[in-house]
């Protein structure tokens, strides 16, 4: 197990090196760039040249990359020029990351809490109205663009009904204390219950929007997987042995049916980062997605470099965790 | 302690949670829980305004963007201020000023009894400390962050002979004398720029304010930039970066009329439609730059759309070096006559937009009231093209995508209207577009188009800031006037006008130049001026829209 984890971590280093080069080259091959974004109408050739020189963008690209690698090894990723100019790009990542994690976590929990039980029930009540209804529902969940759903939710629950806030992460009037950057956790830790509740209220709509696709996928995989497992010999054996329904359901059907579901959850969690870009924009939820979108518009190299690399690392780590979870659920994987 | 396998993680988690909880103390101020803060009555003690972007930093000297200035303007003041609702200057930290006969020595009488929040006195020594601090910038700051100083003063201490600013001295405790290298229309108007606000010398020193560094592909700013000290009606309360809000609190020791509302919160909401929804939901009291298409809906819902007097110009730039046909004045005039700008302004631009008669809006001194717009006359355009032998000419005409500017809310629609007009008189338009930050500005700068859409929003009230910016620098300007017969003369005239000390004479000179630009030179086609707006809820009172987008919130109240 340890060797397996070590090997995966080594692979991660390779991924990061290759990706850093690709991102670096890609950003610099885009037309326009940081200098235009900063100067706007004020861009004259002289001002451009001065700014390029000040930013070191007049250097040959391999020199720039080498400088970048040297700094990155020391943990220095440079300053932002567009998202929060002058702030350290890595600090921006650290500040934005908890927001995205909090949102993704809520979304995936929602998706799992709804997707697995519903998927299981649909499979057990195969070809009933319940099954048909939930399958159609999940199809709609996959088909509706996140962006559109986010707008709909916001329109109804925030603007029309005033049940939930329109955007942001917390009411600034609460003047909440910051500890970890996870607003709900912070509220609990500092016993500022109103702040924690307010943060949850801000999470509901974006998390719902973000959860639809993973919910639909998890639901469908669970349903299909349970259907498969229900026909297995060992289930029939268990039934003929006279085991209680509870044991059959829990130990024999659900546990085995969950294997593909766990992989799916892992993949979907990675995919959430993409969905978060859209959702965060709609809800002005100050996470990574929003930062990356703004950074791209303003050609903020430092922030894009850090965020893309860290997102890749997160993706790899999530997959590693999924594999470990797999080993926990399925003993056969462990012995291999 | 022996733990079973299952209990271990639980115990670990519990310990961790307890440890975190132990060091996580609520640090809420006592004031926030008790919401009565004196003002009482029927007005709220907090104004919440939706901003489109985060402030870059809180030292305005290193900023060039409106979002930063919107915040620092509430906290900092300059020697010269701006009369609310206009582009005209008025006394602020200086009560009066006068120039020597040669226009190179400016004496500022300073306001008595002003203190920075840290208790430092505002006096001539403080003024000179600020001026010298701005002048003496390191190489990194010179390259980018100190943008407005570069624009206005031309150079820094390391290149003093090319700088407009020469020195500052304290004649007495409350009189500062600033010397400049040549007379210019920029003085003293440019001192009203937010970048040149007065900040506490003690705090500047303590926070190592000038220590700008290069950090990777960006700039790093010193501690001072997060902890500024000014003289204004508000001071910085808290910048909650994670929650994207900036909170300012009233400066109770302010020298003038104190701010009417105790707290001013800027909530950063990058998405325009979300800002609108927040206003509709009542969670913000106003926001900047509503989409002109929304104005009517916002008004119908009872909100107040505060339209600012236009302080900008939209133009079609022309580059005779890229298309030799454009060297003929008749061709340039033909393009102008071909454009139905009345129609354009009515259909594509916000209410209150006007057809331009010259390259500056009428609020700027030096504006020539006698000029009439080139009328829409497609027949005349055709005959001019014929005379010039340019019938059926092709024109590489470009517009930017992924951008909206106050002078051009929807570039593509404006472009399509103009293109249709040009095609009606037989011009073959080669359509080209690039993203604003994705190569458009670069291509314009490199002279890669025949014609293009661009514009300008003025920084301060001076003709030089408009036509000077466009045409005074003969060596490099977007219009490539160096490739024309009139370019050198125009540049010389602009520089001469800028140096006239007497205001009346100077304005007369600029009016003459504006007439020549429109009638004899026509280096580009001035199209229109569009007023940007703010929108506030019906409960907000006292916000005066400013052509320079220099609104102050100290007189604003929001009723409950």
Give tens-digit pLDDT for A40-63: 888 888 888 888 888 888 888 889
Distance from the B217 Cα atom to the nearest Cα atom in chain A, whole angstroms = 5
Q: Is the pLDDT of residue A205 over 50?
A: yes
The rounded distance, in Å, linking the Cα atoms of A225 and A257 is 5
| Run of H or E residues at B291 | none
Chain A interface mutation, best of B29, B242, B408, highest count of A Cβ atoms under 10 Å: B242
Decide if A42 and B143 are in contact by the 8 Å CB cutoff.
Answer: no
Decide if A55 and B217 are in contact by the 8 Å CB cutoff.
Answer: yes
Contact (CB, 8 A) for B457 and B545: no
Gap between the terminal Cα atoms of chain A: 9
The rounded distance, in Å, linking the Cα atoms of B398 and B317 is 10
The rounded distance, in Å, linking the Cα atoms of B488 and B481 is 8
Give one word for B55, left, alpha or beta, with left for phi > 0 and alpha for psi -120 to 50. beta
Q: Is the pLDDT of residue A123 over 60?
A: yes
Average pLDDT of chain A, as a whole number: 85
Decide if B216 and A162 are in contact by the 8 Å CB cutoff.
Answer: no
Contact (CB, 8 A) for A43 and B445: yes
The rounded distance, in Å, linking the Cα atoms of B477 and B321 is 12
The rounded distance, in Å, linking the Cα atoms of A28 and B295 is 39
Give tens-digit pLDDT for A135-169: 888 888 788 888 788 888 888 888 888 888 888 88
| The pLDDT of residue B271 | 83
| The pLDDT of residue B362 | 92
Angle at A304 between CA A303 and CA A308, to 5 degrees: 120
Contact (CB, 8 A) for B57 and A88: no
Tell me whether strands B80-82 and B304-307 are parallel, antiparallel or unpaired: unpaired
Chain A hits for B435, CB-CB cut-off 8 Å, are 31-32
CB atoms under 10 Å from CB of B309, counted, come to 18
Partner residue opposite A166 with nearest CB, options B64, B238, B278: B278
The sign of the dihedral angle between the CA atoms of B382, B388, B393, B399 is negative
Decide if B274 and A51 are in contact by the 8 Å CB cutoff.
Answer: no
Task: Please check whether residue B261 touches A, CB under 8 A.
Answer: no
Q: Which residues of chain B have pLDDT under 50?
A: 1-6, 8-9, 30-39
Decide if B244 and A286 are in contact by the 8 Å CB cutoff.
Answer: yes
Angle at A126 between CA A121 and CA A130, to 5 degrees: 60
Chain A hits for B25, CB-CB cut-off 8 Å, are 177, 190
Backbone torsions φ then ψ of A191, nearest 5 degrees: 60, 30
Give tens-digit pLDDT for A174-201: 778 888 888 888 888 888 888 888 889 9
Task: Please check whether residue B272 touches A, CB under 8 A.
Answer: no
Backbone torsions φ then ψ of B256, nearest 5 degrees: -100, -150
Contact (CB, 8 A) for B73 and B154: no
Decide if A78 and B48 are in contact by the 8 Å CB cutoff.
Answer: no
Q: In chain B, how long is the greatest CA-to-CA distance? A: 101
Domains and CATH numbers, chain B: 13-284+536-558 (3.40.190.10), 312-529 (3.10.105.10)
Touching B: A residues 250-269, CB under 8 Å? none
Query: Model confidence at A326, in pLDDT bands (50, 70, 90)?
Result: confident
Q: Of residues A1 and A171, which shows the higher confidence score?
A: A171
Distance from the B171 Cα atom to the nearest Cα atom in chain A, whole angstroms = 36
The rounded distance, in Å, linking the Cα atoms of A182 and A197 is 13
Helix (H, G, I), strand (E, B) or coil at B99: strand
C-alpha dist (Å) from residue A216 to A115, A213, A228, A263: 7, 5, 18, 15
Task: Please check whether residue B486 touches A, CB under 8 A.
Answer: no
Task: Please check whether residue B225 touches A, CB under 8 A.
Answer: yes
Give one word for B241, left, alpha or beta, with left for phi > 0 and alpha for psi -120 to 50. alpha
C-alpha dist (Å) from residue A96 to A59, A99, A276, B497: 31, 5, 12, 51
C-alpha dist (Å) from residue B491 to B200, B454, B513: 40, 21, 10
Contact (CB, 8 A) for B147 and A42: yes
The rounded distance, in Å, linking the Cα atoms of B230 and B321 is 48
DSSP conformational letter for B190? G
The rounded distance, in Å, linking the Cα atoms of A83 and A277 is 14
Least Cα distance to A8 among A316, A318, A265, A331 occurs for A316
CB atoms under 10 Å from CB of A234, counted, come to 12
ipTM of the complex: 0.76
CB atoms under 10 Å from CB of A70, counted, come to 10
Give tens-digit pLDDT for B73-128: 999 999 999 999 999 999 999 999 999 999 999 999 999 999 999 999 999 999 99
Decide if A55 and B218 are in contact by the 8 Å CB cutoff.
Answer: yes
Burial of B541 (0-12, 13-18, 19+ CB in 10 A): middle
Decide if A286 and B243 are in contact by the 8 Å CB cutoff.
Answer: yes
| Run of H or E residues at B525 | strand B524-529
Partner residue opposite B220 with nearest CB, options A41, A79, A294: A79
Decide if A302 and B217 are in contact by the 8 Å CB cutoff.
Answer: yes
Give tens-digit pLDDT for A216-255: 989 999 999 988 888 888 888 888 888 887 788 777 888 8
Query: Model confidence at A12, in pLDDT bands (50, 70, 90)?
Result: confident
Distance from the B434 Cα atom to the nearest Cα atom in chain A, whole angstroms = 9
Task: Please check whether residue B25 touches A, CB under 8 A.
Answer: yes
Chain B interface mutation, best of A43, A63, A84, A86, highest count of B Cβ atoms under 10 Å: A86
DSSP conformational letter for B559? B
Chain A hits for B57, CB-CB cut-off 8 Å, are 85-86
| The pLDDT of residue B40 | 52
CB atoms under 10 Å from CB of B428, counted, come to 11
Contact (CB, 8 A) for B308 and B531: yes
Least Cα distance to B200 among B257, B145, B130 occurs for B130
Task: Please check whether residue B476 touches A, CB under 8 A.
Answer: yes
Contact (CB, 8 A) for B441 and B424: no
Chain B hits for A176, CB-CB cut-off 8 Å, are 28, 243
Least Cα distance to B137 among B218, B206, B210, B224 occurs for B210
C-alpha dist (Å) from residue B180 to A54, A176, B26, B163, B198: 27, 50, 53, 8, 19
Task: Please check whether residue A283 touches B, CB under 8 A.
Answer: yes
Least Cα distance to B368 among B379, B357, B383 occurs for B357
CA A13 to chain centre: 21
Task: Please check whether residue B342 touches A, CB under 8 A.
Answer: no
| The pLDDT of residue B39 | 46
Partner residue opposite A191 with nearest CB, options B26, B142, B221: B26
A100, closest residue in chain B (CA to CA)? B242
Sheet of B304-307, strand order? B234-240, B245-250, B263-268, B46-51, B286-288, B533-536, B304-307
Q: CA dihedral defined by B26, B30, B36, B38, rounded to 10 degrees? A: -150
| The pLDDT of residue B35 | 41
Least Cα distance to B540 among B303, B342, B328, B325 occurs for B303
Task: Please check whether residue A169 touches B, CB under 8 A.
Answer: yes
Rounded mean pLDDT of A66-74?
87
DSSP-assigned beta bridge partners for residue B312: B457
Chain B hits for A50, CB-CB cut-off 8 Å, are 142-144, 150
Alpha helices in B73-219 (DSSP H): 124-135, 139-143, 147-153, 201-206
The rounded distance, in Å, linking the Cα atoms of B159 and A205 is 56
Partner residue opposite A54 with nearest CB, options B24, B56, B143: B143
Decide if A42 and B151 are in contact by the 8 Å CB cutoff.
Answer: yes
Give one word for B542, left, alpha or beta, with left for phi > 0 and alpha for psi -120 to 50. left
Give one word for A298, left, alpha or beta, with left for phi > 0 and alpha for psi -120 to 50. alpha
A44, closest residue in chain B (CA to CA)? B445
Decide if B435 and A31 are in contact by the 8 Å CB cutoff.
Answer: yes
CB atoms under 10 Å from CB of A80, counted, come to 32
Decide if A192 and B402 are in contact by the 8 Å CB cutoff.
Answer: no
- Helices A146-153 & A255-282 angle (0-180, nearest 10): 70
Backbone torsions φ then ψ of B307, nearest 5 degrees: -90, 130
Tell me whether strands B286-288 and B46-51 are parallel, antiparallel or unpaired: parallel
| The pLDDT of residue A332 | 73
Q: In chain A, how long is the greatest CA-to-CA distance? A: 86
Rounded mean pLDDT of A88-110?
89
B270, closest residue in chain A (CA to CA)? A284
The sign of the dihedral angle between the CA atoms of A40, A43, A49, A54 is negative
């Amino acid at each position: 197990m340890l060797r397996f984890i070590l090997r995966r971590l080594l692979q991660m280093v390779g991924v990061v090196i290759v990706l850093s080069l690709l991102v670096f080259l890609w950003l610099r091959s885009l037309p326009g760039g940081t200098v235009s974004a900063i100067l706007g109408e004020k861009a004259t050739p002289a001002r451009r040249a001065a700014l390029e020189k000040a930013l070191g963008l007049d250097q040959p690209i391999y020199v720039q990359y080498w400088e970048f690698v040297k700094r990155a090894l020391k943990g220095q990723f440079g300053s932002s020029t567009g998202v929060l100019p002058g702030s350290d790009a890595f600090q921006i990542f650290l500040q934005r990351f908890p927001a995205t994690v909090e949102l993704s976590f809520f979304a995936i929990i929602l998706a799992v809490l709804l997707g697995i039980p519903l998927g299981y029930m649909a499979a057990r009540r195969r070809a009933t109205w319940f099954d048909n209804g939930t399958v159609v529902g999940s199809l709609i969940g996959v088909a509706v663009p996140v962006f559109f759903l986010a707008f709909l939710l916001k329109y109804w629950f925030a603007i029309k009904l005033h049940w939930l806030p329109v955007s942001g992460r917390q009411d600034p009037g609460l003047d909440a204390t910051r500890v970890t950057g996870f607003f709900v956790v912070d509220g609990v830790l500092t016993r500022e219950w109103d702040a924690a509740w307010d943060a949850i209220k801000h999470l509901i709509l974006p998390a719902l929007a973000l959860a639809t696709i993973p919910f639909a996928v998890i639901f469908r995989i669970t349903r299909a997987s349970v259907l498969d497992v229900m026909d297995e010999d060992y289930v029939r054996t268990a039934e003929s042995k006279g085991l209680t329904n509870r044991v059959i359901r829990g130990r024999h059907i659900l546990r085995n049916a969950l294997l593909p579901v766990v992989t799916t959850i892992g993949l979907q969690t990675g995919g959430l980062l993409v969905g978060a870009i859209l959702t965060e924009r709609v809800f002005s939820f100050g996470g990574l997605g929003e930062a990356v979108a703004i950074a791209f518009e303003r050609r903020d190299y430092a922030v894009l470099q850090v965020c893309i690399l860290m997102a890749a690392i997160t993706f790899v780590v999530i997959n590693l965790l999924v594999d470990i979870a797999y080993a926990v659920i399925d003993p056969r994987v462990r012995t291999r | 302690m022996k733990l079973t396998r299952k209990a271990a993680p639980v115990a670990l988690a519990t310990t961790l949670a307890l440890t975190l909880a132990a060091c996580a103390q609520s640090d809420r101020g006592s004031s926030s829980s008790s919401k009565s803060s004196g003002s009482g009555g029927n007005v709220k003690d907090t104004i919440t305004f939706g901003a489109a972007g985060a402030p870059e930093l809180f030292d305005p000297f290193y900023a060039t963007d409106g979002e930063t200035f919107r915040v620092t303007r509430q906290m900092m003041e300059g020697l010269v201020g701006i009369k609310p609702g206009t582009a005209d200057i008025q006394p602020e930290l200086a009560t009066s000023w006068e120039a020597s006969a040669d226009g190179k020595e400016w004496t500022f009488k300073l306001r008595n009894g002003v203190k920075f929040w840290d208790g430092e006195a505002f006096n001539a020594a403080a003024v000179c400390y600020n001026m010298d601090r701005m002048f003496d910038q390191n190489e990194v700051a010179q390259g980018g962050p100190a943008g407005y100083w570069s624009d206005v003063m031309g150079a820094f201490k390391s290149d003093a002979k090319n700088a407009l600013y020469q020195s500052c001295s304290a004649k007495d405790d409350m009189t500062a004398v600033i010397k400049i290298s040549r007379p210019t229309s920029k003085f003293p108007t440019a001192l009203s720029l937010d970048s040149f606000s007065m900040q506490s010398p003690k705090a500047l020193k303590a926070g190592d304010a000038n220590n700008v560094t290069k950090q990777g592909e960006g700039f790093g700013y010193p501690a001072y930039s997060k902890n500024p000290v000014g003289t204004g009606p508000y001071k910085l309360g808290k910048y909650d970066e994670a929650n994207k809000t900036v909170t300012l609190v009233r400066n109770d020791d302010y020298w003038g009329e104190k701010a009417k509302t105790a707290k001013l919160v800027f909530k950063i909401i990058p998405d325009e439609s979300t800002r609108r929804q927040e206003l509709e939901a009542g969670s913000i009291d106003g926001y900047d730059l509503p989409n002109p298409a929304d104005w009517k809906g916002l008004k119908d819902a009872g909100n107040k759309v505060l339209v600012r007097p236009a302080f900008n110009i939209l133009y079609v730039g022309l580059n005779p070096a890229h298309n030799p046909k454009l060297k003929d004045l008749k061709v340039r005039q033909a393009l102008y006559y071909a454009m139905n700008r009345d129609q354009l302004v009515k259909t594509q631009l916000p209410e209150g937009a006007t057809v331009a008669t010259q390259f500056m809006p009428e609020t700027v001194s030096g504006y020539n009231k006698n000029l009439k717009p080139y009328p829409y006359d497609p027949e005349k355009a055709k005959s001019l093209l014929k005379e010039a032998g340019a019938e059926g000419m092709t024109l590489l005409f470009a517009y930017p995508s992924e951008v909206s500017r106050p002078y051009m809310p929807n570039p593509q629609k404006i472009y399509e209207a103009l293109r249709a007009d040009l095609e009606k008189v037989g011009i073959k338009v080669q359509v080209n577009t690039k993203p604003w930050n994705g190569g458009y500005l670069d291509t314009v700068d490199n002279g890669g188009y025949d014609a293009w859409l661009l514009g300008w929003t003025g920084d301060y009230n001076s003709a030089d800031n408009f036509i000077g910016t466009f045409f005074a620098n003969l060596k490099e300007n977007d219009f490539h006037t160096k490739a024309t017969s009139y370019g050198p003369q125009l540049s010389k005239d602009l520089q001469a006008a800028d140096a006239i000390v007497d205001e009346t004479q100077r304005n007369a000179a600029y009016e003459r130049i504006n007439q020549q630009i429109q009638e004899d030179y026509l280096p580009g086609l001035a199209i229109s001026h569009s007023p940007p707006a703010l929108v506030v809820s019906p409960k907000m009172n006292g916000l005066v829209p400013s052509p320079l987008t220099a609104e102050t919130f100290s007189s604003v109240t929001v009723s409950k």
